[in-house]
Structure 1
Amino acid sequence: MTQGDEPSSGPGNDREGKPSRGTRRSRARKTKKQKKQRPLWQELPILVVIAAVIVALVVTFIGRPYVIPSQSMEPTLIGCPGCSNDRIFVEKLSYDFGDPKPGDVVVFKGPSSSWDSDYHSNRSSNTVIRGLQNFLAFFGLAPPNENDLVKRVIAVGGQTVQCCDAQGRVEVDGKPLNEPYAHYEYPYQPGLSFAVKTPMGLSINPAGREFGPIKVPDGNLWMMGDNRNDSLDSRGHIDDQYSGTVPVKNVRGKAVFKIWPLKRIGPVRSQNPHTN
């Protein structure tokens, strides 16, 4: 063989005309990548499962959105029939490291049947649909099947709460509270109670303010809505086994942000009423 008959040793080939070692490795990597690629219809279910697991972890350990169901927290939070009810984000991390404090706006589960008198389950009577609702609720994509309410913490375990002083203010441990968030539709009328016990149960007078004194048991909370004349809060359940208070274990989280509608997006602020 003459010199001109020698095989080419150009790019990618050795002097014998075979692919070089680097070229072989590069081709092997490309072949391996091609084998690993899957069609979208195979990858999509995996991505959905991963996303669902992430959402479930967020709902379980970090927080979830809630819808304000009534006007009891107006004007802080808006909720009424036929209007754009506020959606709020409620986080759980704060209460993993401490208990709710006076002034916090919290979501909690009604602790007794007294709180559930007007509650209707959001679950379907159809077994299949109900199962789907429960499945979606686990991942935070549907509301839980429980009577969740939103109110403001006014007093905590060991404190004594009552109303009113001469100016119609709520008192805790004998000191009047500073509550700029509280809305009253009626002027204070001394001697007029918010709730009166009768043989038929509690009789509610929205124009009344007076209640107590009630000492909050350790591990419990006294809850009140900001819309004082239109909130069936702790004052309206003083005849249950907790004297209207709510166990801390029933708290689902702290309301921290309004996420909808767009014109009301913003923080939900805690304001300790015990400070002047």
Structure 2
Amino acid sequence: MSSAGRTKGGHGRLGSTLSGLVVAVGCVLFLGGFAWAAVEYQPYTVPTGSMTPTIVAGDKVLAQRISGDDVRRGDVVVFKDSEWGDLPLVKRVVAVGGDAVRCCDKQGRLSVNGVPLDEPYTDKALGGGRAAGANFSADVPVGELFMLGDERANSLDSRVHLQDKEQGSVPRSDVKGRVDAIAWPPAHLIGRPKTFAALPGGISSGGPLRLMAVAVVAGAVLIFLGAALGPLLNRRGRARPAPTPAGERAGVR
């Protein structure tokens, strides 16, 4: 076999090997990201507007499967409680077991353990920007959560259940997941409010959804690049001129 043939064959094998390797890595990242998300997250469709403006009726959300013991103040959670109805509900946790919730102070603010809260996530539809239409108070039992909707004018939440359930709270064990993102429309992450950062326990960190998205996008890019890499290297190998034999370079016939 001539040196030109060996060169072309070598470039062909190199191109195929590199292309296959890049595509394989891309497939692992792409499929792995989706598989990780399927294990970690559960999709839900929100049926009501009680979480407006954060989440509106009909939004498709992704909730990370977590234990209720991991929930902190400010989290938006999916839960199901028999005394609240038969369907999963989405509300924001504003207080946890042992907290004293009071509303409202002279500025119309909600307070937890005597700390007035700035709540930028609410819809501000109530007159004077009040946190609730009527005053209320509750002492949350240990192991339970006090839930409010961000749409305070009409949300059926722990305030309503103060009348028929002790303190209106729900057990942590009722939590099915913590909402990390709206999948549609349009897709975006739901941040953790700094409102509760100064209270004991602070706020929860974000879930792994961003990392999963990076893995999927990086995988797709690598699959595309790998598919193009093999033909590109083969083309460069064919275009390279064959080396001149040593005898010809020396002028020998």
1:154 to 81, 91, 94: 94
**CA distance in structure 2 between the aligned counterparts of 1:179 and 1:157, rounded to whole angstroms:** 20
Distance 1:235 1:265 in 2: 31
| Cα offset, 1:252, TM superposition | 0.4
Q: How many residues end up aligned between the 2 structures?
A: 165
Query: What residue identity is the alignment partner of 2:60?
Result: R
1:167-196 Cα offsets, whole Å, 9 max, x none, are 000010111012110123221499xx96xx
Alpha-carbon distance in structure 1 between the residues aligned to 2:73 and 2:134: 20
Answer whether contact 2:62 2:181 (CA < 8 A) is retained.
yes
Q: Aligned residue for 1:244?
A: 168
Where does 1:1-276 land on structure 2 (aligned, <5 Å)? 62-79=40-57, 85-93=58-66, 95=67, 98-112=69-83, 115-116=84-85, 146-188=86-128, 208-212=133-137, 214-261=138-185, 264-275=186-197
Instruction: Work out the CA distance in 2 between the residues paired with 1:218 and 1:243.
Output: 11
Structure (1 or 2) with the greater helix fraction: 2
CA contact (8 A) 1:70 1:78 kept: yes
Name the larger-Rg structure: 1
Q: Spell out, residue by residue over 1:99-120, the C-alpha distance to the aligned partner (whole angstroms, 9 max, x if none).
A: 21011000000241xx22xxxx
SS at match of 1:255: strand
Three-state SS of the structure 2 residue aligned to 1:88 is strand
Task: Find the aligned partners of 1:148 and 1:184 in 2 and give their Cα distance.
Answer: 25
How high is the sequence identity, in percent, across the aligned residues?
A: 39
> Moved runs in structure 1, 4+ residues, more than 6 A?
none
Q: What CA distance in whole angstroms lies between the structure 1 residues aligned with 2:163 and 2:82?
A: 13
Structure 2: runs of 5 or more not aligned: 1-33, 199-253
SS in 1 for 2:160: helix
Contact 2:60 2:184 in 1 (8 A): yes
Kindly report the root-mean-square deviation, in angstroms, between the aligned alpha carbons of the 2 structures: 2.6
Please say if residues 257 and 267 of structure 1, whose CA atoms lie closer than 8 Å, have aligned partners that are also in contact: yes
Asked if 1 retains the 8 angstrom alpha-carbon contact of 2:54 and 2:121, the reply is yes
Normalised by the size of structure 2, how large is the TM-score?
A: 0.59
The higher-RCO structure (CA 8 Å, 6+ apart) is: 2
Question: How far did residue 273 of structure 1 move?
Answer: 2.2
